[in-house]
A = this chain, B = another copy of it.
Amino acid sequence: MAETDLDALETAAATAAEEEQLDEENRLKPEFVRSVHEALEDKDDGRAYELVEPLHPADIADLFELLERDDRRALATAITDLMTGDVIAELNDYVREDMVEALPAAAVAEIAEQLDTDDAVQLIEDLDHEDQQAILAEMEPEDRAAIESALAYPEETAGRLMQRELVAVPEHLTVGDVIDFMREHDELPTEFWEIFIVDHKHHPIGTCALSWILRAPRHIQLADVMKRDQTLIPVTMDQEEVALRFQKYALISAAVVDENGRLVGQLTVDDIVHIISEEAGEDALLLSGAGEGDINEPIRDAYASRVRWLVANLLTASVSATIIYLFGGAIEQLVVLAALSPVVASIGGNAGTQTMAVSVRALAMNQLTRSNTRRILWREIRVALANGATIALLIGLAVALIFFSWLGAAVAIKLGVVIALAMVINILTAGFAGVAVPVMLDRLDQDPAVASSVFVTMITDSMGFLVFLSLAVASGLVG
């Protein structure tokens, strides 16, 4: 009892300490980060250790990310025995890679051996082949074999992500047998949520949540409590697809099978939540042309991915510039056309971006399929009609009123009508392109989030200038 009280006291102390370090949104406080930085500056490793010790591993990982690069390495040296697998697993990929590269191979191998296969793979998969080999050479043969076979699968597939550690039992056991089996075997994973039932060829035939086992009497047959209907993940399945299955079927864990249908590993939802978040969040970054958009990405990589996109936009912008240039005579006659045409292009671009964001998200979530494309296209066109009418009315009236006294009633009204009409046409075009472009890219097996923006923006920009300036000429505003 005395021990328990002590434990409780320790927990209370830890919680109080945590509160000192975290703000109300669960982020490390800047003062705390600064005091760690100062301790490292002063080479006071003891003080740094004391500060970091009460933190949760996920917060230690956050601390590394918040510190400058030099501080990271100093901290890693100061708190070696707090650098557990949980900390490593939670680290940002770039930060981890940078730190792993700084450590001797033997030290990395030692860390890797504490980890589950999936985390160990993550630790070394981004390293050079040579560094990988050096680390693997330091590891126990069994661990090395597991990691090597995971590395044989392509990146971002189930084979890379899965844990090999799992509980698989034959169907003929009773609930009591299973419990005894689990009590006796020490090499089982530390945490698991379901067990898998396999036939004599090691093909999965069912799963059983631990709660069903715990609630059934010992004599009940496993076959009577297990669920036969289950989602099997092929070892080559892409992680995006895996994340969608976990979401759709609300899975906690799932069996991974090889090409012969044999059970080779399991995926658990705690590893998948990162991927769900990453895959859902990356669309905003891809749509904007920011590539991976990780703030820890080296500047060289960020430059490479972003500048490509800017150059593409430079090319599409030159299409618009050419159109404007062709209407140079009209602009010389009525210079206000130069001021108004970018408005038509810009609002069209915004309307296109809205529809495109909606379509890309719906495609990613498998909500927009061949079955309802026509309906969604029609829906977006109706939204565009309503938006176009509103904006056209506003800008038409505003233009007519503003230029009434400067240009005279006839010209001002004509200009208002021309810009209103151009706006409706461009917003409708935007609505159409915002669905059609992503859908077409998807059918061509391209990621719609990556390439849609370039096309949609080019369409709305050039249409905006072309329609507005053509209408101005056609209406006789300029000759």
Interface positions of A (Cβ within 8 A of B): 4, 7-8, 11, 14, 25-28, 30, 33-34, 56, 58, 62, 65-66, 68, 90, 92, 171, 179, 182-183, 188-193, 205, 209-217, 223, 228-229, 241, 244-252, 269-274, 276-278, 280-281, 283-285, 287-290, 293-296, 299, 302-303, 306-307, 309-311, 313-314, 317-318, 320-322, 324-325, 328, 331-332, 335-336, 338-343, 345-347, 350-351, 353-362, 364-372, 375-376, 379, 382-383, 386-387, 390-391, 394-395, 398, 427, 461, 465
> Which residue in B271, B350, B386 is a CB contact (below 8 Å) of A309?
B350
Whether the pair B280, A4 counts as a contact (CB closer than 8 A) is: no
C-alpha gap A247/B376 in the complex (Å): 33
Give the interface centre of A90, A213, A277 by most chain B CB atoms within 10 Å. A277
> Which residue in B27, B211, B269, B290 is a CB contact (below 8 Å) of A270?
B269
Name which residue of chain B comes closest to A231, CB basis: B56
C-alpha gap A357/B183 in the complex (Å): 50
- 6 CB < 8 A contacts A-B: A4-B223, A66-B371, A277-B277, A295-B379, A299-B386, A341-B342
Whether the pair A34, B215 counts as a contact (CB closer than 8 A) is: no
Whether the pair B288, A26 counts as a contact (CB closer than 8 A) is: no
Name which residue of chain B comes closest to A368, CB basis: B295
Give the interface centre of A4, A11, A307, A347 by most chain B CB atoms within 10 Å. A307
**CB within 8 Å for A289 and B350 given contacts A317-B342, A371-B34, A383-B303:** yes
C-alpha gap A210/B14 in the complex (Å): 25
Name which residue of chain B comes closest to A295, CB basis: B362
CB of A142, distance to nearest CB on chain B (Å): 21
C-alpha gap A372/B68 in the complex (Å): 8
Whether the pair B350, A321 counts as a contact (CB closer than 8 A) is: no
C-alpha gap A273/B279 in the complex (Å): 12
B residues within 8 A CB of A461? 342, 346
**CB within 8 Å for A367 and B295 given contacts A249-B58, A290-B357, A342-B321:** yes
C-alpha gap A367/B368 in the complex (Å): 32
**CB within 8 Å for A367 and B65 given contacts A217-B183, A317-B346, A335-B328:** yes
> Which residue in B58, B284, B338, B398 is a CB contact (below 8 Å) of A283?
B284
C-alpha gap A62/B230 in the complex (Å): 18
CB of A164, distance to nearest CB on chain B (Å): 16
Whether the pair A387, B303 counts as a contact (CB closer than 8 A) is: yes
C-alpha gap A247/B58 in the complex (Å): 10
Whether the pair B223, A247 counts as a contact (CB closer than 8 A) is: no
Q: How many copies of this chain sit in the oligomeric assembly?
A: 2
Whether the pair A366, B26 counts as a contact (CB closer than 8 A) is: yes
- If A277-B280, A311-B394, A324-B342 are given as contacts, then 10 extra A-B residue pairs at C-beta distance below 8 Å, sorted by A number, are A27-B366, A182-B211, A188-B211, A250-B271, A307-B391, A310-B350, A310-B351, A313-B350, A325-B335, A341-B342
Name which residue of chain B comes closest to A465, CB basis: B342
Give the interface centre of A324, A355, A356 by most chain B CB atoms within 10 Å. A324
C-alpha gap A274/B210 in the complex (Å): 23
Name which residue of chain B comes closest to A270, CB basis: B250
Whether the pair A193, B214 counts as a contact (CB closer than 8 A) is: no
> Which residue in B213, B345, B359 is a CB contact (below 8 Å) of A342?
B345
**CB within 8 Å for A295 and B358 given contacts A211-B192, A269-B273:** yes
C-alpha gap A350/B367 in the complex (Å): 28
Name which residue of chain B comes closest to A184, CB basis: B215
**CB within 8 Å for A289 and B353 given contacts A26-B241, A324-B342:** yes
C-alpha gap A171/B8 in the complex (Å): 12
Whether the pair B318, A343 counts as a contact (CB closer than 8 A) is: yes
Whether the pair B361, A339 counts as a contact (CB closer than 8 A) is: no
CB of A249, distance to nearest CB on chain B (Å): 6
